[in-house]
Amino acid sequence: MTSIRSIKGTQDILPDQSHRWQALEAAIRNTMGRYGYEEIRTPAFERTELFARGVGEETDIVSKEMYSWTDQGGEDLTLKPELTAPVARAYIQHNMGGQSPTNKLYYIDALFRRERPQKGRYRQFHQFGVEAFGSEHPEIDAEVIALAMAVFNGVGLSGLSLKLNSIGSPQCRGDYRDALRDFLTPHLNNLSETSQNRFEKNPLRMLDTKAPHEIEILKDAPNISDCWTQDDKDHFDEVCSLLDAMGISYDLAPNLVRGLDYYTRTTFEITSTALGAQDAICGGGRYDGLVETLGGKSTPGIGFAAGMERILLAMGDDTSTGHEPHIYIVGLGDTVRPTVLQLAESLRQNGLAVAFDVLRRSMKAQMREANKAGAKYAIIMGDQELESGQAEVKDLSTGDQQKVALDDLSSHMNSLSF
Ligand code: AMP
């Protein structure tokens, strides 16, 4: 019979990798705690309409990449392809804004998008991110960006680059759309079909083009900053000066825009030179119109989402398994078995990580296993040791060996440094 394999674009996270995930998750939770962000967990699937409204029908995510189905009760459902819309939905549904003027939330979650799989791009992948609701002021923009950088720096990522822009208020974007159309009209015949469609529907998205001749044309295009209102400019200037005050460097990226109407003002992206073609680690921005779009009371908000597979790729591999036992008990013969298990249990209850052989192997094989597992000490116990009331304790890094009375073994092991 042929064996069943996993779906293309999904990954099993095996024990040789899961410890790296745990370390990353622990670093994220630790940083979130220090910045005062609390965890929110939302369901794996939602009504399809949430994403159509909350992400936008014209986005690639909604138009091409969602895993959607109609269930037995006739409801249109979708596996979540992003987290901002579900978190905003929960925020509205539970009246979180009514209970507190600001809500600083974070998540660590699995997402689903039917993209073309390649290194750093999967169909089930993981993001952590934050959504901060309730303040329109630049200090929260600066805090959210500082928080993203703190997580990445905290796990030792190098080659990071922060790109920053403001897409202004909805009025500014309306003006910019017109300016961009005016600029591009004489070039229309030279544009790809995709860009021509975007020209009609959403000209801001044309700035995302990867076609070299279009990038060339767009070099002379007006910048969105030309259309900022005075308030937009003041807001952006203050975000920049707060980042300067915190010593966070950034590059201005006039082409970094988001096409959807509920996005406002600050947008940012963080990339890493440690990655290949898929070098974006994190994207974020302000979305002052989103909560209202989803039927809530108008509430400002800002957030980001960061791809965890990419962070782990950028972190590189380490050799430790993260699960090395402190102690390996080498048990020889049938009579010692209860003593081995009782000792392991007592040491584990005292907080030590203990392993022992369950294949009834030879002394040599068990010692090999103890070394392979990376244990710091081996306790050797056979019939002889049991009879003499003493076990051998071997320091596996130095090779030093000493006899310890069975009665003292537990307290002796607890007194060692690991
Ligand atoms: P987005 O939600 O599209 O703004 O993406 C935010 C971050 O999630 C990106 O910067 C990537 O790090 C990561 N990401 C997005 N799509 C994928 C994917 N298909 N596979 C792995 N990571 C992804």
CATH number of the domain that residue 398 is part of: 3.40.50.800
Decide whether any atom of ligand 1 lies within 6 Å of the 282 Cβ. yes
Decide whether any atom of ligand 1 lies within 6 Å of the 82 Cβ. yes
**Could you tell me the residue range of the domain that residue 402 belongs to?**
327-415
- Tens digit of each residue's pLDDT (9 = 90 or more) over 345-382: 999 999 999 999 999 999 999 999 999 999 999 999 99
Q: What is the pLDDT of residue 205?
A: 82
Decide whether any atom of ligand 1 lies within 6 Å of the 126 Cβ. no
The count of other CB atoms within 10 Å of the CB of residue 408 is 12
Cα(23)–Cα(178) distance, integer angstroms: 48
Task: Answer for the pair 269, 306: CB distance below 8 angstroms, yes or no.
Answer: no
Question: What pTM did the predictor assign?
Answer: 0.90
- Tens digit of each residue's pLDDT (9 = 90 or more) over 47-103: 999 999 988 887 889 989 999 999 999 999 999 999 999 999 999 999 999 999 999
Residue 284 domain-assigned?
yes
What 3-state DSSP class applies to 165? strand
Among 380, 348, 384, residue whose Cα is nearest residue 367:
380
Nearest CA to ligand 1 atom 20: 121
Among 132, 118, 135, residue whose Cα is nearest residue 84:
132
Q: Does the pLDDT value for residue 320 go beyond 70?
A: no
Nearest CA to ligand 1 atom 4: 283
Question: How far, in whole angstroms, is CA 236 from its chain's centroid?
Answer: 26
Distance 148 CA to ligand 1 centre (A): 15
- Tens digit of each residue's pLDDT (9 = 90 or more) over 230-264: 999 999 999 999 999 999 999 999 989 876 667 89
Decide whether any atom of ligand 1 lies within 6 Å of the 115 Cβ. yes
- CATH number of residue 153's parent domain: 3.30.930.10
Per-residue CA distances from 175 to 55, 180, 204, 260 (Å): 22, 9, 11, 15
Residues 102 and 246 grouped into a single domain: yes
Domain tally for the chain? 2
Residues 36 and 132 grouped into a single domain: yes
Cα(57)–Cα(350) distance, integer angstroms: 56
User: What is the position in ligand 1's atom list of the atom closest to the CA of 280?
Assistant: 10
Structure tokens at 47: 């009504």
Give the angle subtended at the CA of 220 by the CAs of 215 and 221, to the nearest 5°. 85
Decide whether any atom of ligand 1 lies within 6 Å of the 145 Cβ. no
- Residue type at 84? T
Q: What is the pLDDT of residue 293?
A: 93
Question: How far, in whole angstroms, is CA 223 from its chain's centroid?
Answer: 31
Residues 278 and 362 grouped into a single domain: no
Number of H helices, E strands in the chain: 16, 16
Q: Element (H or E) spanning 157, and its range?
A: none
Domain boundary pick from 261, 295, 315: 315
Decide whether any atom of ligand 1 lies within 6 Å of the 267 Cβ. no
Residues 74 and 40 grouped into a single domain: yes
Residue 29 domain-assigned?
yes
Residues 88 and 115 grouped into a single domain: yes
